[in-house]
Amino acid sequence: MRLKRLELWWRALWIRVLVRLMRRAPARPDWPARPHRVLFLRHDRAGDMILSTGVMRAIARSHPTITLDVLASPANAAILDAADYVHQVIVFDKKRLGGYLATVRTLRRNRYDAVVDCMITAPSLTTLLLVSASGARHRVGISGRGNDAAFTLTVPPDTRAGAHMVDLLTALARAFDVDPTTVERQPVIALTDAERAGADEIWGTHAGGKRVLVNVSAGTPARLWPDERYVRVMAHIRELDPGAVFRVLSAPAESDRGERIAREGGAVFVRTPGIRDAFALVATSDFVFTPDTSIAHAASAFRKPSVAMYLAGTSERWGLYGTTGKSVEHPARNLDTLGAERMIDAVDEVWRDAFSRTR
């Protein structure tokens, strides 16, 4: 605990030093006046990238003079593969020290006019270093986080109670003369026809039953849900729709567990070597059941009826967004004590809302 506090203190100290070294540019950019190349920093997790797609799209389309690039991580870069509003994706692996210099050289060579800090709730030392390293004259960030002096252009945060992370991110659009209350902020993932066709083949042909996708990977041990409860949920869905077709997916490292759950639940396990393979299955499904992972955010992006499990204090900002669904928050530090009956009740509610009119 003491080491953690020391680490946080040391990081905060360097953030303060870096902020003092970063000087403001004198004037607000005139976006329509000339071409501007803008860099959006999103070098973290897949879910964060998905939830940022709405504001990135709004920035890219705010003025015909803006060209948007994105600095991504190895974990989330592929999400933007078919995004027509992104000019270039630069992959930055913060765990590989040898890549820092090459990334800085790329950023400097691209001569960015503006850079956007994606960290909207708390400052990040790595992100501030990248903001500085970009060499961009205009630096955009959310105000009120203790590092306003590092930016040439700050915008006020969304302070509404219960604001989702999508809403908090959309506040950044104000810097580009976009009214966040009118912009289309829904996350979106663009897939190719070939990706959708490949997923359709995995589902196969069936007579009218719903396509039910069950993701059993949770990303962290705290979000693991007992195997037998997934099986119980699948059995209940089969009672709702005897013709339902089930596909189970997991992270590659959890394929043994995924295969076991699929076998015991009378489903088919699907190996997804890449993140876009998993997202294509989400896009072609009718219903998604998952713990809080990027699959839940993908379900929001494709507006799929879904039920997702969340730990205490996380669903408000990270829950399902803009789709028929239920974000079930468990008041504990792990999901081990979350009972199957509560999830079955949530499935019943969403199933009724999504499919009652089409039966």
Mean predicted confidence (pLDDT) in 297-321: 97
* pLDDT at res. 357: 59
How many Å apart are CA 108 and CA 130, to the nearest integer? Answer: 11
> Is the same domain home to 143 and 211?
no
127-149 residue pLDDT tens: 888 998 999 999 999 998 877 88
Q: Domain of 124?
A: 2-176
263-305 residue pLDDT tens: 999 999 999 999 999 999 999 999 999 998 899 999 999 999 9
Assign 10 a pLDDT band (cuts: 50, 70, 90).
Answer: very low
* E strand or H helix at 5: helix 2-21
> Is the same domain home to 260 and 311?
yes
> Is the same domain home to 152 and 207?
no
* pLDDT at res. 320: 98
Q: Is the pTM of this model over 0.85?
A: yes
> Is the same domain home to 161 and 219?
no
Record the tokens describing residue 346, joined without a space: 């949530």
Q: Do the domain assignments include residue 184?
A: no
Q: Do the domain assignments include residue 185?
A: no
In one-letter notation, the amino acid at residue 89 is V
Helix 125-133 to helix 2-21 angle (10° resolution) is 20
Domain boundary among 176, 211, 245: 176
> Is the same domain home to 27 and 157?
yes
Phi, psi of 230 (to 5 degrees): -60, -40
Examine the pLDDT at 1 and tell me if it is beyond 70: no
What is the total count of domains within the chain?
A: 2
For the chain, what is the mean pLDDT? 91
Cα torsion 77, 126, 313, 5: sign: positive
Of 24-38, 87-101, 178-192, 301-315, the range with the lowest mean pLDDT is 24-38
> Is the same domain home to 201 and 336?
yes
CB distance 328 to 346 below 8 Å: yes
> Is the same domain home to 94 and 226?
no
> Is the same domain home to 323 and 217?
yes
* pLDDT at res. 3: 45
Mean predicted confidence (pLDDT) in 44-73: 97
If DSSP states are collapsed to H, E and C, what string results for 56-116? HHHHHCCCCCEEEEEEECCCCHHHHCCCCCCCEEEECCCCCCCHHHHHHHHHHHHCCCEEE
> Is the same domain home to 164 and 200?
no
Return the SS3 of 2: helix
Domain boundary among 176, 204, 222: 176
Record the tokens describing residue 133, joined without a space: 């390293």
Examine the pLDDT at 2 and tell me if it is beyond 80: no
Return the SS3 of 35: coil
Mean predicted confidence (pLDDT) in 170-197: 95
Domain boundary among 148, 176, 204: 176
> Is the same domain home to 59 and 90?
yes
Assign 16 a pLDDT band (cuts: 50, 70, 90).
Answer: low
CATH of the domain at 228: 3.40.50.2000
Q: What are the beta bridge partners of residue 114?
A: 38, 138
Q: Do the domain assignments include residue 181?
A: no
Examine the pLDDT at 218 and tell me if it is beyond 70: yes
Q: Do the domain assignments include residue 97?
A: yes
How many Å apart are CA 232 and CA 343, to the nearest integer? Answer: 10
> Is the same domain home to 249 and 339?
yes
Examine the pLDDT at 9 and tell me if it is beyond 80: no
Examine the pLDDT at 26 and tell me if it is beyond 70: no
> Is the same domain home to 153 and 216?
no
